[in-house]
Amino acid sequence: MDKYNCEICGKKHAIYTSLEIPFPRIISEIEEKERDNRVKEIDGFYIVDDTLLFANGWVNIEVEGKEFPFFYWKTWTSISKEKFMDNLEELNSGNVIEFDGKLEEDLPFYLNSIDLKSKTLIQAANEGMIVEILIQEESKLKEDQSKPISEKRMIEIMQMIHHHPKREKSVNLDKTFRVRLLEELEKTQGYLKSDKNFAINIGTGTTLFQIVSNEMLETKRYRELGFGLHLSFDDSFDEMNEEISKFRSKEYSKRFDFYNLDDIPTYQIDLGTNIDELVVLVQSILIEVYGENIEMIEMDSFEI
């Protein structure tokens, strides 16, 4: 089931199963000019101020009768730098090492999940380090992770996206989606002028796709700095197949370049500085591929 019938509004709503937080919150808050001195990266792990170590891992939640994991959120946990360094040899041997830690980000649908105590399991694999985060502290998140949740609970979580009172109050602005998107694009002009990469997450609670600086695309068509679209469809989940089919059926999909990035079908297009075309494409994809009410769509821009 990739959609469910909503008893509140009578419409069919999409079920979002993934979330990825690209950087630990603490790194996002460090000024770029300080990052080279304060932040080090080791195989996808980050060390800040030579004391704090952050691992990027999956918080998985099963749903009864669904393929595991149904909800899969990639977020950050902090673990002991000393224990991590002491176990590098064991990790390189492929052994699973457990680390005590705590969540470093709030997850959607779970109030006050930041700082929850966790068990972080790390194992080296051909594709890199596999990190799974198991919540240890008593919480709703631990309860949901301890056994497959019911379909009723899954819909309850999705209603927090589609009909959460606080969210609707903050998103249902007087400004239209087009105006809000143009304002968000205007914010990124500073990144473009400074030759900085950026992304704008487009979605409702979870990211559906991204607007990115065209420097980040696999193939850049325009010489000048500008905008690109990046769409990823994880076809290992049946829920994504309908969206993939809808996208491929549209005439505009033929203008996108296809890539198989980490075995995930990915479509990208360089639009340069053509803002009007970008806005039209974003609106079309949201409505025609994802079946969204664009006036409820959120967006968030950040430097990469």
pLDDT at 16: 66
Q: pLDDT tens digit string along 237-292? A: 555 678 889 999 999 999 999 998 767 789 999 999 999 999 999 999 999 998 88
Over residues 281-304, the mean pLDDT reads: 86
pLDDT at 292: 83
Token digits of residue 211 = 């607007």
Burial class of residue 238, CB neighbours in 10 A (0-12, 13-18, 19+): exposed
Query: In 10 A of CB 252, how many CB atoms?
Result: 14
Going from N- to C-terminal start, the domains of the chain cover: 3-162, 171-303
Nearest-angstrom CA–CA distance, 176 and 172: 9
Over residues 291-296, the mean pLDDT reads: 82
Q: Provide CB contacts within 8 A for 95, sequence distance 6+.
A: 123
Select, from the ranges 8-22, 39-53, 164-178, 238-252, the one with the highest average predicted confidence (pLDDT): 39-53
Query: In 10 A of CB 206, how many CB atoms?
Result: 17
User: 3-class SS at 2?
Assistant: coil
Q: pLDDT tens digit string along 81-117? A: 999 999 988 888 888 999 999 999 888 778 788 999 9
Nearest-angstrom CA–CA distance, 205 and 112: 16
Q: pLDDT tens digit string along 117-174? A: 999 999 987 767 889 999 999 999 999 999 999 988 988 888 776 666 555 455 545 6
Select, from the ranges 59-63, 171-175, 234-238, the one with the highest average predicted confidence (pLDDT): 59-63
CB of 113 closer than 8 Å to CB of 136? no
> Over pLDDT 90: what percentage of the chain?
38
